[in-house]
Amino acid sequence: DVVLTQTPPTLSATIGQSVSISCRSSQSLLHSNGNTYLNWLLQRPGQPPQLLIYLVSRLESGVPNRFSGSGSGTDFTLKISGVEAEDLGVYYCVQSTHAPPWTFGGGTKLELK
Amino acid sequence: QIQLVQSGPELKKPGESVKISCKASGYTFTDYAMHWVKQAPGKGLKWMGWINTYTGKPTYADDFKGRFVFSLEASASTANLQISNLKNEDTATYFCVGGTWFAYWGQGTLVTVSS
């Protein structure tokens, strides 16, 4: 199974600061059809996760454009350009290139400094 | 709008069974597969498997083979998760998830297993 490793596990930021989260895969997530099935989710406290980004860099409808995703192969990054209070929570990457199983990263908790 | 509404919290004893429902609305039920995801208290997300809402065929992750059953009530646009012979380690919030890219999540159902 594919293992996704997220770093850092915890991230402290001030409002307005830009931050990045890394997601590294144990094998390439490039599918034979040319797509890379790597998504990013945000789980706010007490809430279900919500989809932020799919296919590495495509912003889900309604998600602010301060969120961006990049990467290829085994290394992926989620960037928040100017953290806002509503961005606090736990971020997860998830892959489906080599599904089943779908696999999640261990999560990165974004908190206020 | 698309919604997945799950049944309420459950308190069970070890060895008992539980059935969680997930009612979909706002889209054609058979358009998307339904996945199930487990989140133990204070932990991350774990994919349990999925059910093809068109054929009813379930697929289970290795750790969820045996005591876990996915089913459908397609006429009611509802997916169900049944867990039998509950163990303490089944204490968790269970989410149903639909849509391409895991776009739609139920609110979660907390199952507590305690003697």
Written as one string, the DSSP assignment of B52-84 is: -TTT--EEE-GGGSSSEEEEEEGGGTEEEEEE-
pLDDT at position B56: 96
Residue B94 vs residues A51, A64, B37, B67: alpha-carbon distances, Å: 17, 28, 6, 15
> Quick one: which H or E segment has residue A77?
strand A75-81
pLDDT at position A20: 98
A100, B50: Cβ pair inside 8 Å?
yes
pLDDT at position B84: 98
Give yes or no for A2 touching B (CB within 8 A).
no
Residue of B nearest to A60 (CA): B103
Query: Would you say A81 and A58 are in contact if contact means Cβ atoms under 8 Å apart?
Result: no
In the block, which residue shows the tokens 């149903």? B96
Q: With a cut of 70, which residues of chain B have pLDDT below it?
A: none
CA distance B35 to B17: 20
Farthest-apart Cα atoms in chain A, separation? 42
pLDDT at position B19: 98
pLDDT at position B74: 85
Residue A9 vs residues A63, A90, A92, B64: alpha-carbon distances, Å: 23, 9, 10, 27
pLDDT at position B100: 84
Instruction: Identify the bridge partners of residue A6 per DSSP, sorted by sequence position.
Output: A23
Chain A residues with beta carbon closer than 8 angstroms to that of B103: 51, 54, 60
CA distance B4 to B79: 10
pLDDT at position B40: 98
Q: With a cut of 70, which residues of chain A have pLDDT below it?
A: none
B45, A48: Cβ pair inside 8 Å?
no
Give yes or no for A38 touching B (CB within 8 A).
no
